[in-house]
Amino acid sequence: MKIDCRLLIRIGCGSTKVRASFCSYRKPLKRRLAVVPQGGNTGLVGGSVPVFNEVIINMASMDKIISLDKVNGILTCEAGCILENLNNYLTSEGFIMPLDLGAKGSCQIGGNVSTNAGGLRFIRYGSLHGNILGLEVVLANGTVLDMLGTLRKDNTGYDLKHLFIGSEGSLGIVTKVSILTPAKLLSTNLAFLACNDYLSCQKLLFEAKRELGEVLSAFEFMDSHAIDLVLGHLEGLRNPLPTSSYKFYVLIETTGSDESYDKAKLEAFLLHSMECALVSDGVIAQDISQASTFWRIREGISEASVKLGAVYKYDLSLPVEKLYDIVEEMSQRLGDVAKVVGYGHLGDGNLHLNILTAEYSDDILAKIEPFVYEWTSMHRGSISAEHGLGLMKADKIHYSKSSETVQLMASIKKLLDPNCILNPYKVLPQSVL
Amino acid sequence: MKIDCRLLIRIGCGSTKVRASFCSYRKPLKRRLAVVPQGGNTGLVGGSVPVFNEVIINMASMDKIISLDKVNGILTCEAGCILENLNNYLTSEGFIMPLDLGAKGSCQIGGNVSTNAGGLRFIRYGSLHGNILGLEVVLANGTVLDMLGTLRKDNTGYDLKHLFIGSEGSLGIVTKVSILTPAKLLSTNLAFLACNDYLSCQKLLFEAKRELGEVLSAFEFMDSHAIDLVLGHLEGLRNPLPTSSYKFYVLIETTGSDESYDKAKLEAFLLHSMECALVSDGVIAQDISQASTFWRIREGISEASVKLGAVYKYDLSLPVEKLYDIVEEMSQRLGDVAKVVGYGHLGDGNLHLNILTAEYSDDILAKIEPFVYEWTSMHRGSISAEHGLGLMKADKIHYSKSSETVQLMASIKKLLDPNCILNPYKVLPQSVL
């Protein structure tokens, strides 16, 4: 991969001065220069890095909140707004963003849309395809496509905005977003639980969906390697269940509108789960500070995993019943040379598989790939649950999608971007373009 | 409109015999005969009717349930399954369909997907774009496109299934569906409330989203004309609030996991709303029978509206604050010649506007259209919230979508169906094809 030169254009709009620069990103497009749209640059698959001579279009200065419809909870903003800033603004108005990620402090909403970000609130509020109400998008020929509606229902023709959600900037550049934001509910409770085996985690998920029903807002899991990693390498954290060591840990969050009732509900669920022996031990956070410590453990895994040396990261969707098998098989396959860590959004069937070694080695990579992709494909999983394909996995798309589907994707790419100037070399293999 | 001949092909699959007929729908496609896919035929905009010599592809015999993943609540079935049958099956397994419509007894899931059906549970579970996990689709060239995944998260390439959701069979024929189904919650409560003015309905919606939060599952409204129509023309129904007459009525449903708590919550909300004078009177259904009577009033409006003579039906999305203005303006505009009825899914900003006259007249139509479309367009609404465009409104698309957007829709139609044989004359105006 050779980077010859990179021209950075900042995009903004609003004032006269800024309107000029708003238009400036259309110049390279009109001149058929290849461009790479770049948000917070927090992606893990190389979706926002230039490969050869592409112009980087940096969206950071398009960070205005345009409007908030307080009756319906609909936020309209520019694509460069940082997720955490949007959430802070909404919280002060009685709403929240329907998505939450570890990278919230730097990722931008345009990037979230372009990568169809999932994250921690997915189990409660679902995917961006359900929450994005409208988009403004710049096409490869410089046309600004106004689909910035704020209606919950609109069945007038094809719902084209979905083409751009998750297409990683390769079909158009998202410049404005309108999004449905749920009401901020006042009562949040968080339990940190231990399970002795993976089957108990699964059964606990099933029971939580039934018993906690409408208040369940997160169901995260991590294995003991993930916990050891965080506690061993991040400062100031300790295991909330210190007396013994368990194989699996689960974080269950509920969010509702009635503090005392919601807490009692979670306590009753925890008690019942312990009586049924689904849960071996557990604790409910007593205050915000303890809750944020619990979350810090879960969210710190990614940060801690790089401290050992090299990390091979995989982001898989799998049927929940099979989800942990790949961690165990990979661990056996690699033996002592690597530590295999499994964690993720169990409630959404999403495993983050991290393989840690002292240093990077082609031999180890050859043992991991294509095995991990073949295994996932064989179980009808997805080789990229929420990280996208970007540059690193563009050639792997056939593990998750049929060749007819990939062919249709390529036709649509060629229709919208005939000169292949939008985020080239990403998402689709060059062989189909 | 001239119908010369209609050839009906029934589609099914499973046995050897049926597999032959499963393939039979590919024959007309391969011979470039124009086809009209037809589900329950319950649409209101002529989306499933042939215009000239199209072959009707009737999906009724593709009615098998393929699988139910009980851990994750994912149903996979053929496109001809009737919505109510699916819901009954799921209920016995502890789940429900995420959508519910008045036409549930005859509409089919393939048609629901193809028209992106909204309905009564939308406020709780959101749109089909958020709930459909996978589709199998037959393309215009006869290719079967397998996108029948059952994963909640999958970011490997463009999420093409969204192109087919809501495209009314004009880009492909939906043959199989996998859909996320929520757990059936045991406690349902329903309140029938009266408000004196529209502003109170709006404020009540805002409060209900806050106070009832996670259990709110429907917020429907109807004006006094709608109620009078139902009570006057359907047998065995009476106003649950008989002592006086109010201008607006609201149905609020909650669905949760705790019977006594949920009921107390709704009662407290009702009491508080009456104290604040948002609600003038109200009653909570005491049993299932009374609840189904309340729903019968709301769902009977469409049936009752045809009893007077002719009905001009419109299905609009509008900002909630403006939503009832069009009913009042239309009523003033038409004077004594028509009764203007407004009702719908207020929680989703979706108004069903029915204009009733003794008999059909071009003069009256000329007073309604294009006024109703221009008004909606001026307020950035949608001229078809959940009914689609079909044959009747294909030429009206410009009232809700920009010409660049319509142009891109046409390009995609031409890419996927270059000979225009899939449900011709529907969705898009002929002038752009």
- SS3 call for B82: strand
Determine, for residues A166 and B158 on separate chains, whether the beta-carbon distance falls below 8 Å. yes
pLDDT over 80 (residue B20): no
The yes/no answer to whether this complex scores an ipTM above 0.85 is yes
- Is A104 at the interface with chain B, CB within 8 A? no
B320 touches chain A (CB under 8 A): yes
Model pLDDT for residues A359-404, shown as the tens digit of each residue: 999 999 999 999 999 999 999 999 999 999 999 999 999 999 999 9
Q: Where in chain A is the domain with CATH 3.30.43.10?
A: 8-58
Give me the architecture of the A187-301 domain, per CATH.
2-Layer Sandwich (3.30)
At A179 the pLDDT is 98
Q: At what angle do helices A259-275 and A198-211 cross, to 10 degrees?
A: 140
What are the pLDDT digits (tens) for A102-126?
A: 899 999 999 999 999 998 899 999 9
Residue A154 and residue B205: Cβ atoms within 8 Å? no
Selecting from B155, B167, B427 the residue whose C-beta is nearest the C-beta of A115 gives: B155
Tell me the residues of chain A between 199 and 258 that have a Cβ less than 8 Å away from chain B. Answer: 202, 205-206, 209-215, 255-258
Distance CA A338, CA A332 (A): 10
Distance CA A112, CA B175 (A): 32
pLDDT of A20 above 60: no
Architecture of domain B65-180: 2-Layer Sandwich (3.30)
Give the relative orientation of helices A224-233 and A288-299 as an angle to the nearest 10 degrees: 110
Q: Which of B158, B165, B404 to mutate to test the interface with A (most CBs of A within 10 A)?
A: B158
When CB atoms are compared, the residue of B153, B317, B388 closest to A317 is B153
Give ranges for CATH 3.30.465.10 in chain A: 65-180
Least confident among A297-301, B209-213, B321-325, B403-407: B209-213
Contact at CB, A155 and B408, closer than 8 angstroms:
no
Nearest CB to A153: which of B69, B118, B159? B118
At B249 the three-state DSSP class reads: strand
Q: Can you tell me the mean pLDDT for B267-272?
A: 96
Mean pLDDT on A330-350 = 95
Residue A344 predicted with pLDDT over 80: yes
Q: Identify the pLDDT of residue A308.
A: 84
- pLDDT at residue number A259: 87
What is the DSSP pairing of strand A132-138 with strand A144-147?
Answer: antiparallel
The pLDDT score that the predictor gives to residue B289 is 94
Question: Least CA distance to B158: which residue of chain A?
Answer: A167
As a whole number, mean pLDDT of residues A340-364 equals 95
Residues 6+ apart with CB under 8 A from A92: none
- Confidence category of residue B8, pLDDT binned at 50, 70, 90: low
B211/A261 CB distance under 8 A = no
Place of tokens 């920009």: B402
pLDDT of residue B5: 38
Q: Does A115 touch chain B (CB under 8 A)?
A: yes
Domain boundaries A308-387, CATH class: alpha beta
B234-241 contact pairs (CB < 8 A, 24+): B234/B296, B234/B300, B234/B303, B234/B304, B237/B293, B237/B296, B237/B297, B237/B300, B240/B192, B240/B283, B240/B290, B240/B293, B240/B294, B240/B297, B241/B192, B241/B194, B241/B281, B241/B282, B241/B283
Question: Average per-residue pLDDT in chain B?
Answer: 91
Burial (CB < 10 A; 0-12, 13-18, 19+), residue B16, is exposed
Residues of B in contact with A213 (CB under 8 A): 183, 185, 256-257
CA distance A432 to A389: 15
pLDDT(B15) > 60? no
Mean pLDDT of B140-152: 93
Question: For residue B392, is pLDDT > 50?
Answer: yes
* Mutation to test the A interface, candidates B152, B176, B266, most A Cβ within 10 Å: B152
What would the pLDDT profile of A175-189 be if each residue is shown by its tens digit?
A: 999 999 999 988 999
Question: pLDDT tens across A51-93, in order?
Answer: 988 889 999 999 999 999 988 899 999 999 999 999 999 999 9
Q: Are B227 and B343 in contact (CB under 8 A)?
A: no
Query: Cis omega before residue B50 (within 30°)?
Result: no
Q: SS in 3 state form for chain A?
A: CCCCCCCEEECCCCCHHHHHHHHHCHHHHHCCCCEEEECCCCCCCCCCCCCCCCEEEECCCCCCEEEEECCCCEEEEECCCEHHHHHHHHHHHCECCCCCCCCCCCCEHHHHHHCCCCCCCHHHHCCHHHHEEEEEEECCCCCEEEECCCCCCCCCCCCCHHHHCCCCCCCCEEEEEEEECCECCCEEEEEEEEECCHHHHHHHHHHHHHHCHHHEEEEEEEEHHHHHHHHHHCCCCCCCCCCCCCCEEEEEEEEECCHHHHHHHHHHHHHHHHHCCCCCEEEECCCHHHHHHHHHHHHCHHHHHCCCCEEEEEEEECCHHHCCHHHHHHHHHHHHHCEEEEEEEHHHCEEEEEEEECCCCHHHHHHHCCHHHHHHHHCCCECECCCCCCCCCHHHHHHCCCHHHHHHHHHHHHHHCCCCCECCCCCCCHHHC
pLDDT digits (tens, 9 = 90+) for B203-252: 999 999 888 988 999 999 999 999 999 999 999 898 999 767 899 999 99
> Could you give the CA distance from residue B249 to residue B279 in angstroms, rounded to a whole number?
9
Answer whether A13 touches B (CB < 8 Å).
no
Are the CB atoms for A210 and A286 separated by under 8 Å?
no
Q: What is the dihedral of CA B125, B130, B134, B137, to 10 degrees?
A: 110
Domain spanning B8-58 has what CATH number?
Answer: 3.30.43.10
pLDDT band at B345 (very low <50, low <70, confident <90, very high): very high
Q: Which of B114, B153, B416 to mutate to test the interface with A (most CBs of A within 10 A)?
A: B153
Cis before B319? omega within 30: no
pLDDT at A12 over 80: no
Where are the domain boundaries for CATH 3.30.70.2190 in chain A? 187-301
> Which of A155, A352, A414 best tests the B interface by mutation, with the highest count of B CBs <10 A?
A155
**Cross-strand bridge partners of residue B381:** none
Confidence tier at B11 by pLDDT (50, 70, 90): low
pLDDT category, A31, cuts 50, 70, 90?
Answer: confident
Give the model's confidence band at A10: pLDDT under 50 very low, under 70 low, under 90 confident, else very high.
low
Contact present, A175 and A143 (Cβ < 8 Å): no
Judge whether B286 is closer than 8 Å to chain A, CB to CB: no
- Among residues B9, B10, B25, the alpha carbon closest in space to that of B143 is found at B25
Q: Quick one: which of A268, A286, A224, A267 has its CA closest to A249?
A: A224
What distance in Å separates the CA atoms of residue A39 and residue A110, rounded to the nearest whole number? 7
Does residue B348 belong to the interface with chain A, where contact is any CB pair within 8 Å? yes
Per-residue pLDDT averaged across B90-107, rounded?
95
Rounded mean pLDDT, A301-323: 93
Q: Please state whether A214 falls in left (phi above 0), alpha (psi between -120 and 50) or beta.
A: alpha
CB A344 within 8 A of CB A351: yes
A406–B contact, CB cutoff 8 A: yes
Nearest partner of B100 among B302, B295, B294, B342, judged by Cα: B295
For residue B112, the distance in angstroms to the closest alpha carbon of chain A comes to: 12
- B 117-136 residues inside an 8 A Cβ radius of A: 118, 122, 126-127, 129-131
Strand partners, A141: none
Average pLDDT over residues B24-46: 82
Query: Average pLDDT in the A16-21 region?
Result: 39
The pLDDT of residue B3 is 34
Residue A25 has pLDDT above 70, yes or no: no
* pLDDT for residue B64: 96
pLDDT of residue B414: 98
Given a cut of 60, is residue B58 above it in pLDDT?
yes
Helix (H, G, I), strand (E, B) or coil at B408: helix
CATH class of B187-302: alpha beta
* pLDDT of A1 above 90: no
Amino acid A84: pLDDT: 98
**Chain segment B284-302, per-residue pLDDT in tens:** 999 999 999 999 999 999 9
Residue A7: what pLDDT? 52
Percent of chain B with pLDDT over 90: 82
Residues 6+ apart with CB under 8 A from B368: B312, B330, B334, B355
Do residues B116 and A155 lie in contact, with contact meaning Cβ atoms separated by under 8 Å?
yes
